């Protein structure tokens, strides 16, 4: 049955497994954490600092993760504009969807990250995903959130994990 345009617009955005993107991003945040005052004078230094403090699933090797993040950043910036970057590995880092996480890192000083809009990065979203579709859906969900002015204003307040999870849970689909 063909959906009308009105029905289609109101439908929750879903990933390849049928999980609404809002639910996926919220779940990743519930499994992850928020980190403040990430230091570094460059994207590589900030990624290294972030990797050092992350609480990681047991299956993830910290040094290998740091190297994979820096390698990916070397292929092209992960800054997406409006003060945000989404550093991520090109390979599966989490053993399963249940162990996948998202970590937020607030930089102590804004950094030139080569963003398309030229704005310095202040906030990092790090995704440790459990597969390609899971990863792409998480990236898409985060990019969608960052595209919303109200979300960017909320993130400018540097919310805690608890505040961020509550915000995500209360978003309309």
Q: What is the pLDDT of residues 6-20, one digit of tens each?
A: 333 443 444 444 444
Whether the pLDDT of residue 155 is over 80: the answer is yes
Whole-model pTM: value is 0.85
Paired tokens of 91: 């390979």
Q: Residue 172: what pLDDT?
A: 73
Strand pairing report for 121-128 and 101-111: antiparallel
Among 88, 111, 125, 126, the one annotated catalytic: 88
What value does the mean pLDDT take over residues 19-30?
A: 78
Determine whether 88 is an active site residue. yes
CA dist., res. 91 & res. 97, Å (int): 14
Query: CATH assignment of 31-169, given 1.25.40.10, 3.40.605.10, 3.40.930.10, 1.10.150.120?
Result: 3.40.930.10
Q: Residue 28: what pLDDT?
A: 92
Whether the pLDDT of residue 24 is over 70: the answer is yes
């Amino acid at each position: 049955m063909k959906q009308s345009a009105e029905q289609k617009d109101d439908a929750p955005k879903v990933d390849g497994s049928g999980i609404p993107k809002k639910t996926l991003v919220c779940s990743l945040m519930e499994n992850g954490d928020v980190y403040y005052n990430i230091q570094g004078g460059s994207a590589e230094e900030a990624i290294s600092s972030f990797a050092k403090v992350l609480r990681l699933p047991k299956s993830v090797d910290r040094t290998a993760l740091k190297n994979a993040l820096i390698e990916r950043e070397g292929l092209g910036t992960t800054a997406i504009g409006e003060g945000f970057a989404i550093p991520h590995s090109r390979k599966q880092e989490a053993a399963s969807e249940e162990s996948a996480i998202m970590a937020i890192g607030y930089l102590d000083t804004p950094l030139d990250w080569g963003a398309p809009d030229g704005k310095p990065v202040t906030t990092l979203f790090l995704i440790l995903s459990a597969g390609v579709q899971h990863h792409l859906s998480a990236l898409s969900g985060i990019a969608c959130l960052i595209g919303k002015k109200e979300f960017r204003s909320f993130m400018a307040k540097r919310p805690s994990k608890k505040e961020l999870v509550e915000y995500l849970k209360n978003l309309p689909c």
